[in-house]
Amino acid sequence: MRYRATRELFSHLRPDTTRHRKLLEQLNLTRPLSHTALFVLHFSIHCFFIYFLNVNPVNADHSIPHTLHKSPIVDQIIIKGLHKTKAHVVRRELLFREADALTGTLLLDSIQRLKNLRIFTRVLPYIELKKNHHIRLTLVLEERWTTIPYANINSGGDTFYANAGAYDINAFGRFIEVGAQYDNWDGENGGVLWYRNPRILDKRLLGGIDLWSSKRPRSLFTPSGENQGNYIIDQKKLKLLFETEIRLWFVVGLDLQFSQTDIFSINLNKKIDSYTADLLSNSASSSEISATFSTRIGKLNYDNYLISGKQSTLFLKYAGEEIGSEAHIKKIVWENTIFWRLPHTANAALRFNAAAIETNLIQNLFYVGGFKHIRGYYDGQFRSKAYWLANAEYRIPSLKNNWLVIQHIFFLDVANASNRLSDLSQLKKTIFSAGMGLRVISPKVYSFNGRIDIALLSSQKTQSYISFGAQQFF
C-alpha cells in the first residue's frame, strides 16, 4: 500500500519543536494513514530522531522496536509529474539509488536538494511497503515554468534602466541555463549572452560563459548627493566561470575575465572635484585580464518564495602585469546572508557585505547606493575604495495561493563608504534608510517577482525615495 508520512502521525512525537513544524509544512504532510501504520511509525520516528534531534534512536530510547534499527531497502524509484524535465535530472540529485538502504536523513536531504534546484514548485515522496523490509519510493513533482521572456523597467537613484530578453534555467529539460538580454541604461544600448551548466559530467561542478557588449552611463555625485556630471563606459567582456561543490555546505570557484573598457562622453560641471577629475583623466581606456577566486560556506534552502539558512562567500580578485593585464586590481569582497522562516509563512532576512579594492581606475571603484545597496539614495551616489553595508527585511504575505503571492516587506539599510579603511568605523559618516515595500510573486513561474520600495526615512535628504524593478532586493 502506498502511504505518505502524515501530520497526524508526527503529532504523536515529542518534543514538538519549531524545526519539527517547519519540516511538516515543507513536506506538505497532510494525508491520514490507513495501512502499514506500524512500519510508517517506525520509519517516521527514525526520521524524527535523525533529522530533528541529531541522535540515533537506538541510543535515545531502548524501547523502540528492533525494526527501527534496520533501514529499509529501496527496490524501485518511480518519478511522476515530469513533462519537460528529464528523469535523469531528478535521479542525480538523490543521495541514494535502487538497492540502497534509505534513512530519514537521506530522504529529507534529497527532497531539499530537489527543491533547491528551484525548477519544481512541489516535491512529494510516497512510500510503498513490500516484502522483507523493502520499499518502493514514488516521487511526485510539480514543475515550475522556467522559460522566461521578460521586459523590465527600473527607476531609482536618478537612473533609468530597461532590459528585455529571455532565459531558461532548465533548458532542454536538463537543468542548463541559457539566456540573452538587451539592455538600455539612460538611452545607451548593450546586451549579454550567457550559458551555465551546474552539473558538468553529472557532477556538482558548474561551468559557464558570459559574453558582454554594453554601454552604461555612470553618474557622479558628491557625498551629499549633488550631481557632478557623468561619463559612459563602453565594455566588451568575456567571462569564464567554474565552481565545484566540495561538500553540501562548501563550494569553491574560479572566474577568469578578459575585457576591454573605454570611457567617453565625459560631461562634468562645476561641482566636480580635482580628485575625481584626475581619476577620469587616467582611466580613458584599459584592458583587463583577471582571476577571481571564491569560496562559499553554508547553504540556503528554498521552498518556493521562502528561504532559510546561512551563507558566507569570499571573493579575491587580482589583475596585473604578471598575467598580461594593463589594469592593476586587487579586490576583496565578503558577502553574508541569513534567512529565517517565521510563522504565517513570513521570512526575516539579513545581509552584511564588506569590500575593499586597490585600483586607480574610476570604473572599477565601488558605487554604493540605489538598486543593489541602499534604498533611498541615488544609484552609485557613494563612490569609494572600501565600504560595508547591512540590509534587514521582514517579509510577510497578505495573499498567497498556488499562482499568486502578495508579499509586504519592511526594511532597514545601513552603509558606510570611504577611500580609507579607518573611516569605515566613524558613525558620523554612516548612512541609513528605512521604509516598506511590496512584492508580487508567482510561485508557478521561476523568478517572477516584481517589487517596489519606498524609503520613508533616511539620514540625508534625497529625491530618490521610490525604487521599483524585478526580484527581491537581496
Q: Does residue 218 register a pLDDT over 60?
A: yes
Going by C-beta distance under 8 Å and a sequence separation of 6 or more, which residues neighbour residue 343? none
Smallest Cα–Cα separation from 415: which of 449, 474, 372, 365?
A: 372
Q: Does residue 280 register a pLDDT over 70?
A: yes
Domains and CATH numbers, the chain: 2-143 (3.10.20.310), 147-470 (2.40.160.50)
Grid coordinates of 328: 592593476
- What is the rounded CA–CA span in Å between residue 171 and residue 119? 11
- What is the rounded CA–CA span in Å between residue 321 and residue 16? 61
Going by C-beta distance under 8 Å and a sequence separation of 6 or more, which residues neighbour residue 60? 49, 53
Note the Cα 101 to chain centre separation in Å: 33
Beta bridge partners of 152: 163
Residue 186 is predicted with a pLDDT of: 75
Cell 520509519 belongs to residue: 43
Helix or strand holding residue 8 (H, E): helix 7-10
Q: Outline where 239-304 has alpha helix (H).
A: 274-281
Grid coordinates of 356: 575593499
Q: Does residue 297 register a pLDDT over 80?
A: yes
Q: Does residue 272 register a pLDDT over 60?
A: yes
What is the average per-residue pLDDT within 386-405? 96
Q: 230-246: per-residue pLDDT in tens?
A: 888 899 999 999 999 99
Q: 119-148: per-residue pLDDT in tens?
A: 999 999 999 999 888 999 999 999 999 999
Highest mean pLDDT among 154-158, 212-216, 352-356, 426-430: 352-356
In 320-404 the beta strands, taken as DSSP E runs, fall at 329-342, 346-358, 366-368, 382-384, 386-400
Residue type at position 459: S
Residue 467 is predicted with a pLDDT of: 84
Minimum mean pLDDT range among 17-21, 190-194, 250-254, 344-348: 17-21
- What is the rounded CA–CA span in Å between residue 406 and residue 125? 29
Helix (H, G, I), strand (E, B), or coil: what is residue 73? strand
Helix or strand holding residue 136 (H, E): strand 134-143
Helix (H, G, I), strand (E, B), or coil: what is residue 370? coil
Grid coordinates of 209: 560563459
What is the average per-residue pLDDT within 358-378? 90
Q: Give the 3-state secondary structure percentages of the chain, helix then strand then coil, rounded to 5.
A: 20, 55, 30
Grid coordinates of 329: 586590481
The DSSP line for 206-242 is: EEEEEEEEEEEEEEEE-TTS-EEEEEEEEEEEEEEEE
The DSSP line for 14-49 is: S---HHHHHHHHHHT--PPP-S-HHHHHHHHHHHHI
Mean residue pLDDT across the chain: 84
- What is the rounded CA–CA span in Å between residue 196 and residue 364? 25
- What is the rounded CA–CA span in Å between residue 288 and residue 235? 11
Of residues 286 and 392, more confidently modeled: 392
- What is the rounded CA–CA span in Å between residue 115 and residue 28? 13
Instruction: Using pLDDT thresholds of 50, 70 and 90, give the confidence band for residue 9.
Output: very low
Residue 197 is predicted with a pLDDT of: 98
- What is the rounded CA–CA span in Å between residue 47 and residue 105? 6
Helix or strand holding residue 458 (H, E): strand 449-458
Q: 39-96: per-residue pLDDT in tens?
A: 444 555 444 444 443 333 333 333 333 344 478 999 999 999 999 999 999 999 999 9
Residue 153 is predicted with a pLDDT of: 78
Smallest Cα–Cα separation from 383: which of 220, 266, 255?
A: 220
Q: Outline where 117-159 has alpha helix (H).
A: none
Beta bridge partners of 386: 356, 418
Q: 298-345: per-residue pLDDT in tens?
A: 999 999 899 999 999 999 999 999 999 999 999 999 999 999 999 999
Helix (H, G, I), strand (E, B), or coil: what is residue 45? helix
Grid coordinates of 386: 572600501
> H/E/C letters for each residue in 69-89?
HCCCEEEEEEEECCCCCCHHH
- What is the rounded CA–CA span in Å between residue 257 and residue 235? 12
Residue 13 is predicted with a pLDDT of: 31
Query: 285 and 262 in contact (C-beta within 8 Å)?
Result: yes
Smallest Cα–Cα separation from 166: which of 185, 146, 186, 187?
A: 146
Residue 162, Ramachandran bin (φ over 0: left; ψ between -120 and 50: alpha; else beta): beta
Query: 226 and 257 in contact (C-beta within 8 Å)?
Result: no
Helix (H, G, I), strand (E, B), or coil: what is residue 193? strand
At residue 321, φ and ψ (nearest 5 deg) are: -60, -30
- Whole-number Cα distances in Å, 50 to 60, 109, 363: 10, 11, 52
